Chain A
Amino acid sequence: MTMTHTPQSSGGDVRLSQISKTYGSFTAVHPLDLTVPAGSFFALLGASGCGKTTTLRMIAGLEDPTTGTVELSGEDVTALPPYKRQVNTVFQNYALFPHLDIYENVAFGLRRRGVKSVKKQVEEMLDLVQLGPMARRKPQQLSGGQQQRVAVARALINHPQVLLLDEPLGALDLKLRRQMQLELKRIQTEVGITFVHVTHDQEEAMTMADTVAVMNGGRVEQLGAPADLYENPATTFVANFLGTSNLIEAEVVEAGGEDLLLRAAGTKLRLPAARCSASAAAGDKVLAGVRPEKMALAHADDAASVTDGHNRLPGRIKDASFIGVSTQYVIEAPGAGEISVYEQNITRDGRLIPGAEVVVHWNPAHTFGLDAAQSLLAGKTGAAGADLDEEAA
C-alpha cells in the first residue's frame, strides 16, 4: 500500500471543529473547537475520564466522532481510517508488538507503506533514541524507559504531520519520567513535528507544552500558555487543578476603579479589576483567589509592620510543615476557611508555630477574581499541588 502523499518532515496543524463523542447517553466529549498550530507542543490536561484521550483518539482515527470534523494541515480527514492518516500515536502502555523484535517494531510503519530499504532509516532512528545495540531484542526484554523510547521511535520514523502521545510517561517512575520529559521536548524541537500530548500530570504538561488545554467533564475549561494558566486561572477547576489556590468568598463593595474593593471575612480586600473574570458590579459575589506562595505571614504582634496597601487576613496557624525549601502553613482564618501559605525559608520567625495568631498578607496585584457560582472544590487533586510548589518556591 502506498500513501497518497509523501511524508514531510515539518509538522502540520490540527483543527477540530465542533467535534464531540457520545456513547449511548454518556457524553465523553462535548462539541469542541480546538486548533493546534503546526510545530507546537500541545498538551491536553485533565483528570481521568475528562475526555482528553477520546479527543486524541478521534484525531488518530481510532474513534469516530459523533459530530464535527478533524482537519490535518487543512485537509478534512474525518472519514479516513487510521491507516490513511499522516498521524502516529505513542500509546499509553506503548503497545509494542511482542512477536517482533525492536528493529521490526520500528520498521513496521515503513514496511506497511511499501518502503523498500528500511535499514538506514531504522538504524538512524534507533540511534536517535539510543537503542542501537538493542535492535534484535524483543520488547519484553527491555526496561520501561527503553520500551517507551521504542514506542516514540516507531511513531517518529514515519515522519507524521502530528505525533499523538497518550500518557506516554505514566508507567515510568518519577526520575525516569523527568528525564523522558526533557528527552521528548528535545526530540520535538529537533524534528519540528506537532506534538499533541495527553496527560493527567499538570507538572508534566507545564514543563513540556507550549500550550495547555485543561479539560474537565468533556469540555475545555481553559487554554493557554502554562504560565498564563497558572497566573490567571479562569475557573475554580483550573485554579485548583494547576497547583493550589486559596479561594475566598467575597462580595464586591465598590467597582469602577482600577481595583475592585471586596468585603470578605470581615475585612476589605483589593482585587485588580483586570484580573477578575466574573462580572463585578457592586453587590456581586466573587471568589478572590491567591496562590499560596504569593502570600506571607506576619505574627499578630508585628501586624503594624505589614506593607501598606497589602491585603490582610487575620488568622491562627493550624498546622506548619517544614519541607526544606519552604514551610507550608495552614491558617485558620475566620470567615475565609483554611488558607495555605508557603513561606520560603529565608528568615524563619520562631514564633510562627501552630496556635500562633498571625496576619496573612499579600500584594493585591496577585489576587485573581473568579465567578462565585462554581464549586470551590472543583479540580482539587489532593497532593497534586505539592510538586508544583517546590518549583515555585
Chain B
Amino acid sequence: MAATETTGKTTGKTAGTTPRATAAPLRWLRRNVVILAGLATLAYLILPNVVVMVFSFNKPHGRFNYQWQQFSTDAWTDPCGVADLCGSLGLSLQIAVWATVGATVLGTMIAFALARYRFRARAGVNTLIFLPMAMPEVVMAASLATLFLNMGIQFGFWTILIAHIMFCLSFVVTAVKARVMSMDPRLEQAAQDLYASPVQTFLRVTLPIAAPGIASGALLSFALSFDDFIITNFNAGSTVTFPMFVWGSAQRGTPVQINVIGTAMFLVAVLCVLAGQMAGTRRKRSKK
C-alpha cells in the first residue's frame, strides 16, 4: 500500500518536471530499504538456530561437532545415545516445571498483593522484587551457595529448585502486576453487583482477565529455569542439569545429540507460538 503510494507520487513528480536521472536500482532500493533491513534482522536472529539445526544432521569425525562432514540422521534416531544426556534433560524439565509452578503461584499472589493492597512494607517489597533481575547472576549464585553451605543444606534437586523459584519470581510478579494494575476495579464490583460471591468473582472475572499476564510469567519462568547455568552450577552439588551437561561435555567434545535436543526445543517452541496464533485468529474470526 505504502509502496504503491510512493510510486504514484514519484511518477507524478517526474511527469511534471524534467525527468531526473535517478538510477532505477537506487529508486528500487529506496522503496524497499525497510523490507531489506527487516530481512537482515530476521536472518541475524534465525541464523544461529539454523546452524544448530543443520549440525544436528552432521556426522563428525572425532569428538567435536564443529565442522561439517556428512549428512546423517544417526543422532536423531538415537537422541539418548550419549551417556547421562537424557537423564540431565529429564531433570532440567522436571525442575523447570516445578520452578514454573512455584514461581507462578507465589508470584501471582505477590503481584495481587502489590497491585491491590496498601500495606506497610509495600514500597520495600516493590523494590526488593526487582533485586534478582538487577543483581549480577554470578554474585547471586555465589552468595546463595554460601547461604546453603552455612545452613548445612545438601546441594541437589531442592537447592536448584529453590534458587530457580527465587529468580523466576520477579519476572512473574512483573508480568502479572502489569496486568492486574491495568485491570478496572469496577469489573470486580460489577461481578459482585451481579450476584457473584468473592470466590466466584475471583474465579470468573479476576483470574480470566489476569490470565494472559500469568501465562506470560509462567512461560518466561519455564524458559529461564530450563536454560539457567550459572546459578544452577553453583548450587547443584553433584546433580547435573541439561545446561550443565552441555557445558561439561563441551570440554571434552560436543555430541551431535545436543544439537538434536536444541533443535527439538526450538521446534516445540515455534509450534507453540503458531498454535497460539492460530487459536487467536480463529477466535477473532468466529466473533465476526
Q: Of all chain A residues, which has the CB nearest B200?
A: A112
State which of A94-102, A296-304, A366-374 sits at the interface with chain B: A94-102
Q: How far is the CA of A158 from the CA of B192 in the complex (A)?
A: 13
A1 touches which one: B189, B192, B197 (CB < 8 A)?
A: B197
- Tell me if B38 counts as interface (CB < 8 A to partner A): no
Q: Say whether B194 contacts A109, CB under 8 Å.
A: yes
Q: Say whether A62 contacts B193, CB under 8 Å.
A: yes
- Mark A117-145 against chain B: 1 for CB-CB distance below 8 A, else 0: 00000000000000000001110010000
Q: Of all chain A residues, which has the CB nearest B190?
A: A95
Interface residues of B in 201-223 (CB under 8 A from A): 204-205, 208-209, 211
Which A residues are CB-close (under 8 A) to B211?
A: 99
A350 to chain B, nearest CB (A): 56
- Tell me if B127 counts as interface (CB < 8 A to partner A): no
- Tell me if A78 counts as interface (CB < 8 A to partner B): no
Q: Of all chain A residues, which has the CB nearest B194?
A: A109
Q: How far is the CA of A109 from the CA of B200 in the complex (A)?
A: 11
Q: Say whether B209 contacts A95, CB under 8 Å.
A: no
Q: Of all chain B residues, which has the CB nearest A92?
A: B186
Q: Of all chain B residues, which has the CB nearest A104?
A: B204
B286 to chain A, nearest CB (A): 7
Q: Of all chain A residues, which has the CB nearest B199?
A: A1
Q: Of all chain B residues, which has the CB nearest A81?
A: B192
A326 to chain B, nearest CB (A): 41
State which of A64-72, A83-91, A262-270 sits at the interface with chain B: A83-91
B287 touches which one: A88, A113, A137, A158 (CB < 8 A)?
A: A137
Interface residues of B in 128-158 (CB under 8 A from A): none
Which B residues are CB-close (under 8 A) to A84?
A: 195
How many A residues are at the interface, by size bracket?
Answer: 20 to 34
Which A residues are CB-close (under 8 A) to B192?
A: 61-62, 81-83
Which A residues are CB-close (under 8 A) to B106?
A: none
- Tell me if B196 counts as interface (CB < 8 A to partner A): yes
B193 touches which one: A88, A96, A99 (CB < 8 A)?
A: A88
Known: A95-B186, A99-B209. A88 touches B197 (CB 8 A): no
Q: Say whether A91 contacts B189, CB under 8 Å.
A: yes
Q: How many residues of B contact A (CB 8 A)?
A: 21
B189 touches which one: A62, A98, A101, A155 (CB < 8 A)?
A: A62
- Tell me if B224 counts as interface (CB < 8 A to partner A): no
- Tell me if A260 counts as interface (CB < 8 A to partner B): no
- Tell me if B53 counts as interface (CB < 8 A to partner A): no
Which A residues are CB-close (under 8 A) to B78?
A: none
- Tell me if A93 counts as interface (CB < 8 A to partner B): yes
Q: Say whether A83 contacts B184, CB under 8 Å.
A: no
Q: Say whether B193 contacts A138, CB under 8 Å.
A: no
Q: Say whether B187 contacts A82, CB under 8 Å.
A: no
Q: Say whether B195 contacts A158, CB under 8 Å.
A: yes
- Tell me if B230 counts as interface (CB < 8 A to partner A): no
Q: How far is the CA of A273 from the CA of B129 in the complex (A)?
A: 71
Which A residues are CB-close (under 8 A) to B194?
A: 83, 88, 108-109, 112, 154-155, 158
A291 to chain B, nearest CB (A): 39
Which A residues are CB-close (under 8 A) to B286?
A: 136
- Tell me if A196 counts as interface (CB < 8 A to partner B): no
Q: How far is the CA of A96 from the CA of B186 in the complex (A)?
A: 9
Q: Of all chain A residues, which has the CB nearest B185?
A: A95
Q: Say whether B195 contacts A3, CB under 8 Å.
A: yes
- Tell me if A60 counts as interface (CB < 8 A to partner B): yes
A97 touches which one: B200, B205, B287, B288 (CB < 8 A)?
A: B205
* 3 nearest A-B residue pairs (beta carbon): A109-B194, A95-B190, A95-B186
Binding site for B on A (CB under 8 A): 1, 3, 60-62, 81-84, 87-89, 91-93, 95-99, 101, 108-109, 112-113, 136-138, 141, 154-155, 158
Could you list 10 examples of A-B contacts with CB < 8 Å?
A: A61-B193, A97-B191, A97-B209, A99-B205, A99-B209, A101-B287, A112-B200, A113-B195, A141-B287, A155-B194
Binding site for A on B (CB under 8 A): 184, 186-187, 189-197, 200, 204-205, 208-209, 211, 286-288
Given contacts A83-B194, A88-B193, A112-B194, 15 further A-B contacts (CB under 8 A): A1-B195, A1-B200, A60-B193, A61-B193, A82-B192, A82-B193, A83-B195, A88-B194, A91-B190, A93-B186, A99-B209, A108-B191, A109-B195, A154-B194, A155-B193
